[in-house]
Amino acid sequence: MREVFMAKKGRVQINRELCKGCYLCILACPVKSLEKDTVPNSTGTYPSKPLEGDLNKCIACGNCFQVCPDVAIRVFEIE
Q: What is the CATH number of the domain that holds 36?
A: 3.30.70.20
Q: Would residue 3 count as lying in a domain?
A: no
Q: Would residue 17 count as lying in a domain?
A: yes
Domain count, the chain: 1
pLDDT tens for 22-62 read 999 999 999 999 999 999 999 999 999 998 876 678 999 99
Q: What is the pLDDT at residue 7?
A: 72
Q: Would residue 2 count as lying in a domain?
A: no
Residue type, 29: C
Region of 56 on the Ramachandran plot (φ > 0 left; ψ -120 to 50 alpha; else beta): alpha
DSSP-assigned beta bridge partners for residue 10: 77
Residue 59 · residue 7 · CB < 8 Å: yes
Host domain of residue 31: 9-78
Q: Would residue 4 count as lying in a domain?
A: no
What count of other Cβ atoms lies within 10 Å of the Cβ of residue 36?
Answer: 11
Q: Would residue 50 count as lying in a domain?
A: yes
Question: Cα separation of 23 and 27, whole Å?
Answer: 7
Residue 69: which pLDDT band, with cuts at 50, 70 and 90?
Answer: very high
